[in-house]
A and B are shown apart, each in its own frame.
Chain A
Amino acid sequence: MAAMKFYCDAERCIECNGCVTACKNENEVPWGVNRRRVVTINDGEPGERSLSVACMHCSDAPCAAVCPVDCFYTTDDGIVLHDKDICIGCGYCFYACPFGAPQFPKDGAFASRGKMDKCTFCAGGPLADNSSEEFRKYGSNRFAEGKLPACAEMCATKALIAGDADMVSDIYRKRIVNRAQAALGKAQQLRQRNMGSAGDMKGKVTN
């Protein structure tokens, strides 16, 4: 059983919001709804980092646990989807979700919510794959065509990667190793410059 996951590499994300735009365009989501967003920590300060957030397709999804009509289901690929024909727009999933993924069109009476909308991993919904009704309700179903989510494919720096958890983990691990190597190499250079010869710890430290 595959488990589709997103991963956003904070070392790479440059807060271009390309993924947000790609998502809006691909799925033609209603006004006011953003299935994906980019959050920047310590904006403009040293150590600034950005992360792109959407539904994480949790293995044991809180939204599904709390939904009073049980309209969530997890596909065989580990994608958490929901049925808009069953959803009543109560908003409980939004309160339970740690990532603020569920979104609501603001079209009900008394400033209430419409039916919940969230990231589908570009895998549509419970309706027939790539039917026009599916597109209208859930957006694009790239997954049925064997494609990955539009946001991840669009990401210019490949910060946002999507796919099977194992493969995503592999990519991520390689990056970590490369980074560690690069950092080590840099340390080596520094040491050589500061201490004279490589591997000789007796050199005089000049700064």
Chain B
Amino acid sequence: MPPEQTARPASRPSRTARIERIFDHAADTRSLFLAPIDSRALRFTPGQFISIVIPLAGETRNRAYSIASSPDRDREADGLSPDATFEICFNRVPGGRGVDWLFERVVGDTIDFTGPFGAFTLDTPPSVESIFLADATAIAPIRPMVHRAASSAHAPIVLIHAAYSADHLLYQAEFEDLAGRDSEFRFEKIIAPEGAIYDRLFAECERRWIRGDSNRARRIYICGVGKGVIRLRDLFRQNGYERRSVLYEQW
């Protein structure tokens, strides 16, 4: 029989945030705007995530949710006022009890979390062309990364956002607006049947950045669900891109 007492190594301080606002992007995709109750802004690097402590009957689960908003530093650069509130964005998953719990939260509820965590980050705008590839909600960590990449004079940036329907292409207007203002930023959309999203992304990347030229100095950022992310990683790494230039996060 397992012992009752749980042994704990160095325990990590958790924080609490109140849900200030809820926004539904689509029937199955939602953003929560979270304000730390100690009013201390969460300091993070674009691309990082928080770990939410989800209480289920008789147990807790830790689930990662990327911070979909930008740190204050980037907000200020965009002329927005500093704001301790940050955003997470998530979608329903068949049988997903953790995310179902999140969908049950209402404005005013509190959430316990730790973090920020994660090394899938972009701190300084890359000096070489950067390619961002995101599948539906996996735009969440990419969104602040793109804003940071475009925050000062920068090399070309391409963002390809793929999803199975237009309403799962989140923050479209924002990226279109950025592309309208910034001639070095290109925003491209792919709408494909769910099972074909990664095939389309793979074909597009292979055509343009593998067969299309011999430049292997780009930075690649990939985020999505499942093995398709690993296929994309391998496409770049096995065709001359340096391992450290191909960053990815698989959910």
* A and B: interacting chains: no
Chain A residues in the interface with B (C-beta under 8 A): none
Chain B residues in the interface with A (C-beta under 8 A): none
